Amino acid sequence: MSRKIHLALHPYGVGGPGQHGLWKDPSVAKNASIDINYYIRQAQAAEHALFDALFIVDSQFINATYPAHYLNRLEPLTLLSAVATHTRHVGLVGTASSTYNSPFNLARRFASLDHISGGRAGWNVVTSFDTGASRNFGLEEHLDYAARYGRALEFVQVARGLWDSYEDDAFPADVERNVFLDPDKLHALDHVGEHLRVAGPLNLSRSPQGQPVIFQAGVSEEGRDLAAQVAEGIYAPGGGLEQAQEYYSDIKRRTAAYGRDPEHIKIFIHGSPIVAGTDEAARRREREIFEEDDDFARNLALLGRSFGAYDFSVHDLDAPFPDVAHLAERGGRTGAARIIERAATDKLTLRQVAATLREFRRSPFVGTPRGVADAIEEWFHAGAFDGINLAFRTEAELGAFVDGVVPILQQRGLFRTAYEADTLRGNLGLPIPANRYSRERQLVND
């Protein structure tokens, strides 16, 4: 079997959205989200299990109602640079906003991580839906959807142009000829676009994988289109098997429509497996986790994130869901639209809407090691994903998956038994992008 499953690890720290009770778990250190040794252990465990990548999320706005992990956590690129020196193979994917960064600085930081890690960096491109972030960057108003996604597309194009500033053989470092740099192979970008003006060149050469791998999480029409144009890895939205299949086929179709090879975009679904000695024990633990995390006040605050961190507590909980559609355009528009539609269709009160965010839904990846492996294999063969972005509440639960499920996937030929390469691109089966100037030179010479 040539096609294999890709696995990534998404550490929870002390608990993000929906894991409101995780910080109370006695096995979770209360400073986990700011403890670099916690992340190093997670990365080394992922590498021991031959995972493709460690994935770090981020946002740039909080208030006191936000999840515990969001309130006190390390900046992703700083974190991953430290982790890079303690690992050799696992990819290092960090989240960074195209709305609240400058292309030159961000391109340089990711290129630096790529060099530090020997070609294992990935950038998860987000446009930021937390509207309050604008005030942290001196702006009165958050950009609307169209502007955010237009800027994101241009931003990635600029970053890729900057990463090509030097051709691969730009540095002969010939002492006898007194030539360190071949100046003909250094190129300024001189980009002038709708959203950005960047001269370049970047003062950093290409890494062993050419450029960092671009990840994206496209949910809306604009997001799916952006993913199809520029992403090489995608973090897919949640849902059941049919939703995952629809998303997978839609993204692959859009990718081909843009003239790209659909095999050069790897789609990861989210998974939080629970592995136990019996199915009953695993299902019992699944229910316990739901009850540990079921905090109505936190759920109500979480509801507000899709509407620009709106404070729903000012409304009567038992009145009809309030008219807040106007707040969604500059927030999480797609998620907000679904909330509004369901509230209207089912005539739900605000209390009922908040409760629906935490409805108990059984996961397919819960059971004995063999049962979890069976479910993963079924979804994989059904065309639901190329990989799974795995999240575990505790290090012990990660260990149960690594020790119990991974060997079964390997025995079935579904997962690697050794790393194929030293770079993230190599392990994902992605090509090294040719330097645009070298390619042009080759075309001229041909």
| 89: CATH | 3.20.20.30
Within a domain: 287: no
Looking at the fold, whether 312 and 219 belong to one and the same domain comes out as no
The bridge status of strand 53-56 relative to strand 6-9 is: parallel
So what's the pLDDT on residue 32?
97
pLDDT tens, the chain, 446 aa long = 479 999 999 999 999 988 999 999 999 999 999 999 999 999 999 999 999 999 999 999 998 888 999 999 999 999 999 999 999 999 999 999 999 999 999 999 999 999 999 999 999 999 987 778 888 898 888 888 788 999 999 999 999 999 999 999 999 999 999 999 999 999 999 999 999 999 999 999 999 999 999 999 878 888 899 999 999 999 998 789 999 999 999 999 999 999 999 999 999 999 999 999 999 999 999 999 999 998 888 888 888 877 877 889 899 999 999 988 887 665 566 778 888 888 888 888 999 988 887 778 899 999 999 999 999 999 999 999 999 999 999 999 999 999 999 999 999 999 999 999 999 999 999 999 999 999 998 888 87
pTM: 0.93
Within a domain: 289: no
pLDDT in tens, 203-259: 999 999 999 999 998 788 888 999 999 999 999 987 899 999 999 999 999 999 999
User: How far is 57 from 391, CA to CA, in rounded Å?
Assistant: 12
Within a domain: 1: no
Looking at the fold, whether 186 and 77 belong to one and the same domain comes out as yes
The answer to the question of whether 149 is labelled as a binding residue is yes
The answer to the question of whether 134 is labelled as a binding residue is no
The DSSP symbol for 179 reads B
Return the half-sphere exposure (C-beta side, CA atoms, 13 A cut-off) of residue 193. Answer: 18
What is the count of structural domains for the chain? Answer: 2
So what's the pLDDT on residue 1?
47
Looking at the fold, whether 314 and 220 belong to one and the same domain comes out as no
Looking at 356, 379, 395, the residue that finishes a domain is 356
Looking at 356, 378, 402, the residue that finishes a domain is 356
Residue 378: CB atoms within 10 Å? 12
Looking at the fold, whether 90 and 171 belong to one and the same domain comes out as yes
pLDDT in tens, 46-57: 999 999 999 999
Looking at 333, 356, 379, the residue that finishes a domain is 356
Residues spanned by the domain of 322: 295-356
- DSSP letters, 235-247, are E-----HHHHHHH
What burial class does residue 195 get, using C-beta atoms within 10 Å of its C-beta: 0-12 exposed, 13-18 middle, 19+ buried?
middle
Within a domain: 19: yes
Looking at the fold, whether 299 and 188 belong to one and the same domain comes out as no
The answer to the question of whether 59 is labelled as a binding residue is no
Within a domain: 446: no
Within a domain: 323: yes
**8 A C-beta contact, residue 49 and residue 7:** yes
So what's the pLDDT on residue 330?
59
What SS3 state is found at 370?
helix
With CA atoms as reference, report the closest residue to 221 among 149, 153, 151.
149
Looking at the fold, whether 200 and 126 belong to one and the same domain comes out as yes
Looking at the fold, whether 275 and 302 belong to one and the same domain comes out as no
Looking at the fold, whether 13 and 109 belong to one and the same domain comes out as yes
User: How far is 194 from 329, CA to CA, in rounded Å?
Assistant: 21
User: How far is 150 from 365, CA to CA, in rounded Å?
Assistant: 37
Looking at the fold, whether 129 and 25 belong to one and the same domain comes out as yes
So what's the pLDDT on residue 88?
98
The answer to the question of whether 95 is labelled as a binding residue is yes
Looking at the fold, whether 55 and 127 belong to one and the same domain comes out as yes
User: How far is 63 from 57, CA to CA, in rounded Å?
Assistant: 17
Within a domain: 232: yes
User: How far is 266 from 233, CA to CA, in rounded Å?
Assistant: 5
Looking at the fold, whether 172 and 309 belong to one and the same domain comes out as no
Looking at the fold, whether 241 and 104 belong to one and the same domain comes out as yes
User: How far is 90 from 92, CA to CA, in rounded Å?
Assistant: 7
So what's the pLDDT on residue 331?
58
